[in-house]
Amino acid sequence: MDKFFLSVDYGLTNTKAVLFSADGREAASGSAVTPVINEQDRAEIDMKEQWRNTARVIRKVIEESGIDPSDILASGCSGHGGGLYPVDKNLQPVRRAILSMDGRTEKIIAAWKADALTNYEKTCIHMWNGQMVPLMYWLKLNEYHIYTNIYKVLMAKDWITLKLTGNVSTDYTDASIAGVINIENRRYDREIFTPFGIEDAYDKLPGLYKSTDIVGQVTGSAAAETGLCEGTPVTAGIFDCAACALGGGVHDNTRYSITAGTWSINSGVDDRYVPGKDILSWSLFADERSYFAVESSATSAVNLEWSINNLLSGISSGRNFKDAGIYRKIEKIISKFDADEVDIVYLPFIYKSKLARNIDGSFFGIKAFHDKFHLLRAVYEGIVFAHRMHLENLRNASMDKNSAVLSGGVSRSAFWCQMFADILDLEIITTEASEPGALGAAICSAVAAGCFEDFGSAIKAMVREKGRFYPDKARHSVYSEKYRKFLRLINLFDKGWS
């Protein structure tokens, strides 16, 4: 009889429930819109509403799959990193959750930076707006009555795990990306909070577990809401970037993991970490022994979405970015251009990026004979150039690899996969998984359930390659010249842009 794993992938756009068979094949899936509340520089979520939505989508997936819920061996969650989900002693929300893209701490961090106040030597993560330390400081400063009422502060996936099991927990991947783990000894460290006057926040941290640890079982009330069987084991779960890497088959130092979605996420696993100003974060990986480097910014396919919505009124019926036919129409035309034919340079900074903090999205080199498809070809290239910048930061930290697993919507485009191979000078591998983050959580569940001894054996059984793309040296040479122009423009304008 077939056995299954139920994964929840809690993202900032959608929350998905995916049912996987023991060999990693998707048996059923469903999604609900994540109800993010944006108010000026603040991004929050109603935690109870998010749980209700998650419970409904789990139930829908189980019912539509037609399986017996007792055949689900374990469940686990992956979730967005950053932000905080505070609960009181009754394990109820004390306020709305604050999300990772929240901007309320920007001035606080700037002041700390001016005063050379940092905990980087312990965390190996550069402070950012959505991190736990600045957010807890903001709460203590501005909502002291709420701050004092916090019993435990959770991450996104931990809230769902709590609602499934009644237990508070987090895992090493999420706690370290939150900047609350001493990366040297792999433990919570009270001194991480001390320089900022919030040492008492240390006592609000939940229990720390491996991603493959069982942290509880589905309660009767959660079973009634979700359709899961009472007593189904639930794992500690995993931070979504690490989950995507694992779901793509990346668990050691042989390959990069690249996700091209709204964000350009470029990561790798290694048995050591190399502190430095260029790497956004070093955190712990799912095995809690290896280290996970992430270089990322909002410079990836979101730029193509903007371009389609604003440049293609002639071939797109309104704001129909989701129409896969649009991609085929675009790529049929722009693939006819040789690599050296379009000399327009696109800087993919429609959102702020660590790669060029003072530059906005821009086209350079437009001539009278260019049309919208020349511009779109430049957008494709500019997006991959930004990925190359991030990967060069990883290489500068002695993380040099010859291949990468590419996931996200772009991995379904052979044209774009080949462009990644040519620009990055890497062998690009794609997999069959349409939801690699959820598959990563399922791999953790499979190991936790004892189906596999370790990640290597689980990946061998559950992750299947779909395609390989090899770099063309001649095109790489052409793209490298364009890339040098791309970098010159950034260096020229980054200091003086207003």
Residue boundaries of the structural domains of the chain: 4-241, 249-432+464-498
How long a stretch of residues is the chain? 498
Select from 35, 161, 24 the least CA-distant residue to 97: 35
3-state secondary structure of 24: coil
pLDDT at 317: 43
Select from 114, 125, 99 the least CA-distant residue to 177: 125
Taking only Cα atoms into account, the Rg of the chain, rounded to an integer number of angstroms, comes to 22
Looking at the domain that runs over 249-432+464-498, which CATH code has it been given? Answer: 3.30.420.40
pLDDT at 455: 97
Please name the fold of domain 4-241: Nucleotidyltransferase; domain 5 (3.30.420)
pLDDT at 495: 67
User: Longest C-alpha distance within the chain, in Å?
Assistant: 67
Select from 264, 291, 238 the least CA-distant residue to 281: 291
First CA to last CA across the chain, in angstroms?
Answer: 63
Q: Is the pTM of this model over 0.75?
A: yes
Which element (helix H / strand E) includes 284?
A: strand 281-284
Task: Scan for tokens 């783990």, then name that residue.
Answer: 181
Q: Per the structure block, which two tokens stand in for 64?
A: 């539509």
pLDDT at 312: 73
pLDDT at 324: 61
pLDDT at 356: 87
- Other C-beta atoms closer than 10 Å to the C-beta of 275 total 11
Which element (helix H / strand E) includes 72?
A: strand 72-79
**CA 323 from centre of chain:** 24
Is the fold of 4-241 the same as that of 249-432+464-498?
yes
pLDDT at 222: 98
Q: Per the structure block, which two tokens stand in for 100?
A: 């990772």
d(CA 279, CA 363): 27
d(CA 455, CA 280): 26
Per-residue pLDDT of the chain (498 residues; tens, 9 = 90+): 689 999 999 998 899 999 999 999 999 999 999 999 988 889 999 999 999 999 999 999 999 999 999 999 999 999 999 999 999 999 999 999 999 888 899 899 999 999 999 999 999 998 888 899 999 999 999 999 999 999 999 999 999 999 999 999 999 999 999 999 999 999 999 999 999 999 999 999 999 999 999 999 999 999 999 999 999 999 999 999 999 999 999 999 999 999 998 789 999 999 999 887 777 789 999 998 899 999 988 899 889 988 888 877 555 444 444 556 888 899 999 999 999 999 999 999 988 788 888 888 999 999 999 999 999 999 999 999 999 999 999 998 889 999 999 998 899 999 999 999 999 999 999 999 999 999 999 999 999 999 999 999 999 999 999 999 999 999 999 999 999 999 999 999 886 655
pLDDT at 318: 40
